[in-house]
Amino acid sequence: MKSTVESNDIVDPQGAASPEENSVGGEIINEELADADLEDADAAAKKVPITRRRTNSAVDPKKASSLLGQTLGTDNDGNKSSSGYGCDGCATQNPPPKDHGIMALPEMQQNNITETEELTPGAYLFEGGEFRTAVEANAHGSDDFDWEGYRNQQRTHAPVQTAPSRAVLAVANAVEEVDPLSLPQAMPSEANSDNAKRDQKDNGWVAICTCAGLALMGGLVLLIVFLVSGTDQSTATNYPAAASSMAPTSPISLESYLSSLLPNHTVKAMEDKDSPQYQAFEWLLEDPYVYGYAEKRILQRHALMSFFYATAGPTQWTNKTGWGSYSLHECDWYQNQDFASKTILQNYYPGFLQGFLEPLPDSRCDNQGIYTHLWLDQNNLVGSFVEEVFSLTSLKTLSAGLNPIYGTISSHIGHMSDLQGLAIASAGLSGSLPSEMGYLSSLQVNSLYGNQLEGTVPEEIWQLTNLEFLVLGRNNKLQGSIPSKVGTFAKLRWLLFEECDLSGPLPTELGQATSLEWLVLVAGNLSDTLPTELGSLPRLWFLSLYGNQLEGTLATELGLLSSLGVVDLRWNSFSGTLPSELGLLPVLQTLSLESNFLSGTIPTELANLSELYMLPLADNRFTGFIPSEFGMMPSLELLSVANNSLSGTIPQDLAPLQRSLYSLHVQGNSLLSGVMPDLLCAINKTCVFDWFEECEGPYGLIFECTEMLCGCDCPC
């Protein structure tokens, strides 16, 4: 049976036609294939006559697509496989891959069907103007195909329009519903598979070559950067390179750009071409590496160099190693090895800064090369303390004490929110304390001892509840009072206002600051009585309130302070008797009560103070005898009972004290009598006690030679 088909026919994709009904040149042909594999594949196909009615209407492309999705795959042996692209009722499955060479025609080619034909169900390929079975087309695509024989066969049945091409276009014939399991799958083209493999292999080599090239280029760039950096700039410490900040969006000079980064007060100061700020700016302009610095590092280097020039760094600093070097990172410029010289000061102030910043950090910068510590104590810094230092807002500690520097503490210090330690002691700072210090919520150490600060202590200082050391002593123009909120300072260990003009009473809330170790409020105008609540300070070691206007009796609760080492209450107006409870203090070393209005006898319980080496009780109203038990105090170095109303003889039991005493003062007691023990005449007249580098008053043995009292160089 002959049938003619047009090039826009839809060919059934569900199976390959049997070899008995191959359509070649518009005729039904029967031929026997030589290839055994192809014969097996043809034998598996069933002939199911299908009558297809041609119409002039377009075929629904969705229906055709649904039919394409029902193709059942076969393996190389012709066996059916459920892992292919077809299954019963799987209308939503994806169509076969393009390697099978089977696809639906475009919608515009699915029109103008005019005839009825009967075709064997299966997959057909439209090639060279003719239909071919999928099996035959697969054979054509083989490299072993007999092309000459094929051309002769074509001449027998129909004229050949064009030579068969491997680039074939799949079309689909609509078919009636059949069992998909009865139909074989079209064989994929090996040529397509080989081409795909070759393409993958070629693409792989291209990718490998590309990656290798990029890696080589990257390595060369890194090598060049390493060689250049190693040649131009060497640093003792490796810090990460910050992203360059030199990226203005419009043309701008380096000078203008750097100026735009500096704070307004610095730019104003630079109007004076002789200012340290302008000197630092000129130095920065000459920095060959400035183009690679982040903004924060530009500000850092300028601030440090401003401070260097302002304190005569080039000519006066004791050690200026590295400062001003372009090739050395500023984190490796010289600094003191100890914060606030605390190791030295602890010889005079036991416990000073003990526990703070321990252990000391290895570096003065963080891992990004930004300053966190600046220590320049005892380095002969001569000049002014410029504001730019307070632009180093990442600083955690700043110490520059024991240097002849002057200037004020700028309000910009309030921007140093990370600051934990500020120590500029024994310098020449003046002016008032800025209220902006109240913003330093992390501050633990505020040591501005020994300057020329004046004005009132800001209320904001008493908001810094993280303070552990508040040391503002020896600023004799600094005024204020101790507020009751001091009781909220749970961490406060040192409260030191030596020789400041403090006034008002001592708040009872001091007894709530239970971490207090040093309470030094001397040479001021404090008044009222000594709070008994001080007996609630279990860690208190140093209590010094001398030189005020305190009055009343001494609280017996002082005997509860088992950690107390120093009691200095001289030069006040205390009255009443001396509490015997003071003899219970096991580690007491100094009990200084001179120049008060104390009366009564001297308690013999004081002889229990085995650690006591200073006992100045002069200038009071004591009566009675000098306790002979004092001869059993092995550590006693100074005993002064001068200018009292004592009576009796000088106890012979005091003779053993000649091994430790350097000062024995008994003058001013007109009722004393007898002969001075010979051993006491040999008291070493050299001051061996070194407390704050001075001895208390005249030393040696001092007594009045009278008719009632003689001995030593005084004839009886």
260-295 pLDDT, tens per residue? 999 999 999 999 999 999 999 999 999 999 999 999
Residue 618 lies in a domain: no
pLDDT for the residue 426: 93
pTM for this predicted structure: 0.66
User: Are 70 and 180 contained in the same domain?
Assistant: yes
433-478 pLDDT, tens per residue? 999 999 999 999 999 999 999 999 999 999 999 999 999 999 999 9
Which among 179, 210, 228 is the end of a domain? 228
Banded model confidence at residue 252, pLDDT cuts 50, 70, 90: confident
78-124 pLDDT, tens per residue? 443 333 333 333 333 344 344 433 334 344 444 444 344 444 444 44
User: Are 111 and 220 contained in the same domain?
Assistant: no
β-strands 50-52, 27-29 pairing? unpaired
User: Are 218 and 78 contained in the same domain?
Assistant: no
579-597 pLDDT, tens per residue? 999 999 999 999 999 999 9
Residue 353 lies in a domain: no
User: Are 150 and 222 contained in the same domain?
Assistant: no
Range of the domain at 219: 197-228
User: Are 63 and 143 contained in the same domain?
Assistant: yes
Banded model confidence at residue 660, pLDDT cuts 50, 70, 90: confident
User: Are 118 and 222 contained in the same domain?
Assistant: no
Residues 383 and 398: their CA atoms lie apart, in Å, by 17
Residue 462 lies in a domain: no
User: Are 58 and 203 contained in the same domain?
Assistant: no
* DSSP state at residue 267: H
Residue 403 lies in a domain: no
Q: What is the total count of domains within the chain? A: 2
Banded model confidence at residue 220, pLDDT cuts 50, 70, 90: low
Residues 685 and 632: their CA atoms lie apart, in Å, by 21
H-only helix segments in 158-253:
190-232
**Mean pLDDT in the chain?**
76
Look at residue 332 and tell me whether its pLDDT is greater than 70: yes
Residues 450 and 428: their CA atoms lie apart, in Å, by 8
Which among 162, 188, 214 is the end of a domain? 188
User: Are 64 and 176 contained in the same domain?
Assistant: yes
Q: How many residues does the chain have?
A: 716
User: Are 57 and 174 contained in the same domain?
Assistant: yes
Banded model confidence at residue 212, pLDDT cuts 50, 70, 90: low
Residue 218 lies in a domain: yes
Of 628, 367, 349, the closest CA to residue 498 belongs to 349
Residue 206 lies in a domain: yes
Residue 396 lies in a domain: no
Residue 681 lies in a domain: no
User: Are 35 and 140 contained in the same domain?
Assistant: yes
Residue 310: its H or E element: helix 295-310
Other Cβ atoms within 10 Å of 222 Cβ, number: 10
User: Are 112 and 59 contained in the same domain?
Assistant: yes
Residues 602 and 552: their CA atoms lie apart, in Å, by 18
Banded model confidence at residue 684, pLDDT cuts 50, 70, 90: low
User: Are 38 and 65 contained in the same domain?
Assistant: yes
Instruction: Determine the average pLDDT of the residues in 416-432.
Output: 96
Q: Which one of 9-23, 49-63, 167-181, 517-531 scores highest in mean pLDDT?
A: 517-531
Half-sphere exposure of 211 (CA within 13 A, CB side): 6
Angle between helical axes of 295-310 and 254-261 (0-180°, round to 10): 80
Q: Which one of 63-77, 211-225, 535-549 scores highest in mean pLDDT?
A: 535-549
